Amino acid sequence: EAYAGLRNAVARMIFTSAGQSYVCTGTLLNDRDTTGTPYFISANHCVSSQTVASTLQTDWFYRSSSCNSRALAASTVKRRGGATLLYASASTDTAFMRLNDTPPAGTVFAAWDANPQAASSSVVGLHHPQGDMLKISFGAITGQSNCASAGANQFSCSGASGNYYRVSWSQGLTEGGSSGSGIFRGNALVGTLYG
């Protein structure tokens, strides 16, 4: 219940790349001036080109009808208008887009915090593992690592400092389809899932 509002910023993504359909997770993101522009953040290994962004479908409120239920909520809404890719980076695994369709009523624009986060900080992940209904995972930042793409959907991390937070889940997990989902500290996005 503590994340009942924030969950409305998260959407399941379905997109096409090289003739195949895939799922990831993305977050509707606020801007500094609260303009209501539908900025959307996910992972570069999900959406790395305008061609792929143009195929984006977002499924909002894609969650169970009640806690521990396997029934999909009747409030689920699809948007099929794609997105405009504004920024893509393989080195940070970031895809930053502007959705072409207005998100449905009831969505929330997530806050963000670009300040460095300390080790041991509690974090929460809201995501769609394997494209399933929305799940929540609880954990903590355990440090930082230097990570780089090792091709396709592979990556390699090393060291005790670097450009990525290491997160250890104490409750829940992440899977394929969770990629690009927001990592939140408090109610602010502090990163997106890579791996």
Candidate list 42, 48, 179, 181, residue with the active-site label: 179
Question: Which residues sit opposite 23 in a β-bridge?
Answer: 14
45, 48, 59, 137: the catalytic one is 45
Q: Exposed e or buried b for every residue in 142-169, given b needs 16+ CB within 10 A?
A: ebbbebeeeeeeebebeeeeeebbbbee
Terminal-to-terminal C-alpha distance of the chain: 27
**Cβ atoms 23, 130 nearer than 8 A:** yes
Phi-psi region of 152 (alpha: psi -120 to 50; beta: other; left: phi over 0): left
Single out the catalytic residue among 42, 48, 93, 128.
93
Q: Can 93 be counted among the known catalytic residues?
A: yes
3-class SS at 8? helix
54 in catalytic set: no
145 is catalytic: no
**Where in the sequence numbering do the catalytic residues fall?**
45, 93, 179
